[in-house]
Amino acid sequence: MKYISTRGGIEPIEFDQAVMMGLARDGGLLLPETLPSVSPQKLGAWQNLHYKGLALEVLDLFSGDMPRADLEGLVERAYSSFRHPQVTPVRKTGDLYIMELFHGPTLAFKDVALQLLGNLFEYELIKSGGFMNIIGATSGDTGSAAIYGVRGKKGMNIFILHPHGRTSPIQALQMTTVRDANVFNLAMNGTFDDAQAIVKGLFSDLEFKDQYQLGAINSINWARVLAQVVYYVFAFLKLRKQGFDAVDFSVPTGNFGDIFAGYVAKQLLPKDCINRLILATNSNDILTRFVNQGDYSIAGEVTPTFSPSMDIQIASNFERYLYYLHGQNGARVKADMETFAATGRMDLSAFKEQAGNDFAAHSVSEEETIATIRKYSEEHAYLLDPHTAVGVRAAEELKGDRPVVCLATAHPAKFGEAVKKATGNEVELPPALAGLAGKESRCEILDADAALIRKYVETNALKE
């Protein structure tokens, strides 16, 4: 399968190149030249596959010339690290279904993609005999999941930027207590958007990118989005087996990556299998305003919330959806993104009806988030983390006649402060988190200065 840029500036490339590039050479994001589709017959053949088997089938649609046996080995290694045999189990809770995406090494949904991506990177580097320097920004969970995906692997250094003091304490400890020689943590005096802009700037400098063989682990990397497509198909098949022909999903999102994976899954499956994608945001609501009002604009400063992984004003994956809004016209995408970079807004009111057909959206307040955690603890003896609570509250608000699968994006113990505020109780730490506070950590605290970060990477990067 060939891959192209959302901005139309590169010739089609192969899957293995797309995995290693992350960001396209023209500054756009990579997408398949065409999206495959799954026939009802093939979907029926997938009905009883376990998660690893389904992942192999879905990934194989996109992976081009990679030998199937090699892909199968990568999938096996990636998901053998998960604690639940179903990898992403789905459980009925009240009137909703909750898909638990937090059974990986760092107890967050990012593990589903990053355990696979780390193995893909290693596979390609072994083939080429090369090296790479992985650079990423995180608002919380991506950093630790990426670190755990590549820690100790030869031929790779990883540099993770996170906003100093704006992640949960456990999220910070998960990153900074990993002391493998190839791991570099940078806590920045700024926001996630600042960190993300610096990372994108480094990737846009083609000379620097080529010299240091930069690799992307944020959801700007297509392989991350693709890995997340699998669990939407998995959840639909679970409910299909119970007699449901159509399913809605509720997705807490700030960066638009996870819900864009749902959009791809919706195109992949037969018509109406995935009916609605409910986009749930906290008070940092640029995406909700886009869907409901056609307004994609930065509104003041990022507001810190109980769901810090969603404290984002600029959704880096939105450009991929914009490409489809513009009828796959890369020149129009490029013009819109340049306008947004200059003014902080895009007038997309002309697409309000189309966006409303693809998504429903709801913004959830801090009070509603805490109340939802409390409600599910008291009524269902089920603990939600605050991000999942945002998705659950949006599902309650927008639920129709079809079953709704809410994506549970993190273990509640990662956000103990919010859970304690809601329930009055401390969350018991699972073994993966217990004892982190007593471990030695390693982290550099730097200003959100692009030149400063660039110099740090140059000093510590692999060069051969």
Three-state secondary-structure class, residue 213: coil
Beta strands (DSSP E) in 303-462 are 345-347, 359-363, 404-408, 444-447
Contact indicator for 418, 369 with CB cutoff of 8 Å: yes
Contact indicator for 422, 264 with CB cutoff of 8 Å: no
Rounded to 10 degrees, the C-alpha dihedral 324/326/330/333 comes to -100
Q: Which residues of 150-185 are buried (b: 16+ CB within 10 A; e: fewer)?
A: bbebebbbbbbbbbbebbbebbbbbbbbbeeebbbb
In the block, residue with structure tokens 């080995």: 73
Angle at 142 between CA 279 and CA 373, to 5 degrees: 50
Q: Which long-range contacts (CB under 8 A, 24 or more apart) does 49-56 make?
A: 49/237, 50/85, 50/86, 51/79, 51/86, 51/87, 51/88, 51/230, 51/231, 51/234, 52/76, 52/79, 52/87, 54/230, 54/233, 54/234, 54/237, 55/79, 55/116, 55/227, 55/230
Identified catalytic residue from 92, 110, 399, 421: 110
Contact indicator for 284, 310 with CB cutoff of 8 Å: yes
- Measure the CA–CA gap between 91 and 124, rounded to whole angstroms: 37
Active site residue 110: yes
- Measure the CA–CA gap between 456 and 454, rounded to whole angstroms: 5
Q: Report, as residue numbers or ranges, the catalytic residues.
A: 110
